Structure 1
């Protein structure tokens, strides 16, 4: 009963806030360059950061891209002023200073200008001052204070509406009606949803596996592995590992953005070894957190993965063309 009451209360607050923006009582503030928001309507785990990565990789072929992210559970999140993490030559700060996802983005996209901070307007303008021609907001949908030119919404194809209820009864954090505002809906896994929405379907696929020193691992079919991670949707990572042909014999999950402790890692690796595991695997996001690999009873590898578009490549390219047109007009 309590969760139901809290869920109704949260829904009332969210819808009320949205109406104030829709009716012009609150006005979003514009920035110096076009802004693309990549967000979702549920709490975590849909793949916003991988979509940001995919879009930025595509745009960097033609324009200078800025990426703005909050820097969850990092020093940057607590600062009054945003932190310029990358000037277009890779990360200038470690993950604990800027956040695991921010560090990952600036490492995978060294040409991008990356800024971390809770004030998205200041962060976007900082990216523009550093040379960005367009700014991508990672997890920007609920930050309505900043005006955006393009809205991309990422949904879990297997549960697009968060169980149909707002937090905490379900996982909705925004009104599903806001999907109508989207320039594009990205379905991560599963199939297309209602046909009246512009959408593409993507899938997260493992690409390579590396040791901590950067040496690539050649994983044989039917290898027994243990899997650990601190991400919002760990089951998706387990499924990806299984699609590589591995047999997952033991798992250990911690909260999103959290680093697994040394003792935890030691105990988990011992359990996995007893179950027949030859190797432990984690995500790239976990690997950048500075794990103590020497504390493990088994070697540890991290999986580099990326999104591929399964359906409506044309729709994706149309969105890219729309962004380029915006930049040309700004």
Structure 2
């Protein structure tokens, strides 16, 4: 796997494979590993910050797990059919569209075509979701997210492990964000010195020398708990309550740690693979586990709620978001890379 990734990167580096322009500036957010870094919350956060800076933002995604009716689709959220967008576009784009994270969300296997459609619909900047390895689309900036607890996915490549490419690929990054970072790192508003970084990660940056990107940190924090009746309360409402966790995400252990840190008593955790399409059989299993575990509440993630099986017990949804003191520095770096909005747009 790593050899194939290295060969493909070399082909782009040497000009044997060509990148294509979307007509508007593109900033990519991606990983070295397969999931678990908090990429989707970060994409939502960055798109929101760019909108607050006055930009018209599209998020472009491949739409993993979806079955779109056309090669390129603008994701529409329909509250009357909450699972429809996930079936068409995939759970993460559907979640981003439902949250209103960007002016529009576009999915397509051909992300060049998707980005061009976003430009035609009025976007003046595209945030490319999960785009670090997708070099066919020209970008002004590559942001790479790295999990502070396991920077390189145990060091094993796909399919046996999590690495999508060699850690040396960080030399292509313009900025690295250490996610799931300790509070003292996430509270730093500037670039982080190597001696404060996880040793494995710091050693890799040292090997890159001058090509190493600047690093800042962010934390994933619980923001709200949406109860089954639709009311939103503070996440610490889980304290002391026996709960059944249900997830189909990369890194379910992180979800479990987050809920436990809120003081909940985890009676059981049903963990399916990332993007798992819930079935009627899964709904019955959830109901059975709720009865047998003695839990008084099912708790799931926002991403799983988008795909929730119709006949399963209604869950509480724990929303998490990005918190970083380095936010202004990250946004300034992105705005500097993408440049000012063209005067003929909006």
- TM-score, length of structure 2 as denominator length: 0.83
The corresponding residue for 1:278 is 296
State the 1:307 CA deviation.
Answer: 1.1
- 1:264 Cα offset (Å): 2.6
Report Cα offsets for 1:79-117 as digits up to 9, x if no partner. 552001249xxx996221121111111111265211111
1:66 is matched with which residue: 55, 58, 80? 58
Output the CA distance in 2 between the equivalents of 1:314 and 1:171.
Answer: 31
Separation (CA, whole Å) in 2 of partners of 1:18 and 1:212: 46
- 1:180 and 1:45 map into 2 onto residues whose CA distance is 21
How many residues are treated as equivalent by the alignment?
313
Task: Provide the residue aligned with 2:165 in structure 1.
Answer: 174
Other-structure match for 1:208: 224
Distance 1:111 1:119 in 2: 20
Q: Structure 1 pair 117/213, CA: closer, same or farther in 2 (3 Å)?
A: farther
Taking the TM superposition and a 5 Å limit, the aligned residue runs for 1:279-318 are 279-292=297-310, 294-296=311-313, 300-309=315-324, 312-318=326-332
1:132 and 2:147 equivalent? no
Contact 1:198–1:315 (CA under 8 A) maintained in structure 2: no
CA contact (8 A) 1:259 1:286 kept: no
Aligned twin of 2:336 = 322
CA distance in 1, matches of 2:161, 2:90: 27
Spell out the pairing of 1:94-173 with structure 2 (5 A cutoff). Answer: 94-109=85-100, 111-173=102-164
In structure 1, the residue matched to 2:67 is: 75
Please give the secondary structure, in 2, of the residue aligned with 1:235: helix
Q: Secondary structure at the match of 1:51?
A: helix
| Contact kept? 2:28, 2:127, Cα under 8 Å | yes
Contact preservation (8 Å) 1:74, 1:98: yes
Partner Cα separation in structure 1 for residue 149 and residue 180 of structure 2: 7
- Moved >6 Å (runs of 4+): none
Matched, 1:198 2:218: no
**How many Å separate the matches in 2 of 1:247 and 1:328?**
53
With the length of structure 1 as denominator, give the TM-score of the two structures: 0.87
SS where residue 264 of structure 1 aligns? helix
* Unpaired segments ≥5 residues, structure 1: 1-9
CA RMSD of aligned residues (A): 2.5
Structure 2: where are the runs of 5+ without partners? 183-196, 206-211
TM superposition shift of 1:328: 5.5
Task: Give the conservation status (yes or no) of the 8 Å contact 2:50–2:331.
Answer: no
Is the 1:115–1:123 contact (alpha carbons within 8 Å) kept by the matching residues of 2?
Answer: yes
Indicate the residue corresponding to 1:5 in structure 2: none
Distance 1:222 1:309 in 2: 28
User: Is this contact kept in 1: 2:243–2:298, CA < 8 A?
Assistant: yes
In the TM superposition, residue 165 of structure 1 has moved relative to its aligned partner by: 2.7
Whether the 8 Å contact between 1:34 and 1:326 is mirrored in structure 2 is no
* Cα distance between partner residues in 2 of 1:110 and 1:52: 8
Q: State yes or no: 1:228 paired with 2:246.
A: yes
Q: Helix, strand or coil: the match of 2:339?
A: helix
Match of 2:7 in 1: 16
Distance 2:299 2:292 in 1: 16
Give the whole-Å Cα distance in 2 for the aligned partners of 1:46 and 1:16.
25
Q: How far has the Cα of 1:45 moved from its partner?
A: 1.7
Retained in 2: the 8 A contact 1:34–1:327? Answer: no
Shift, 1:251, TM fit: 0.4
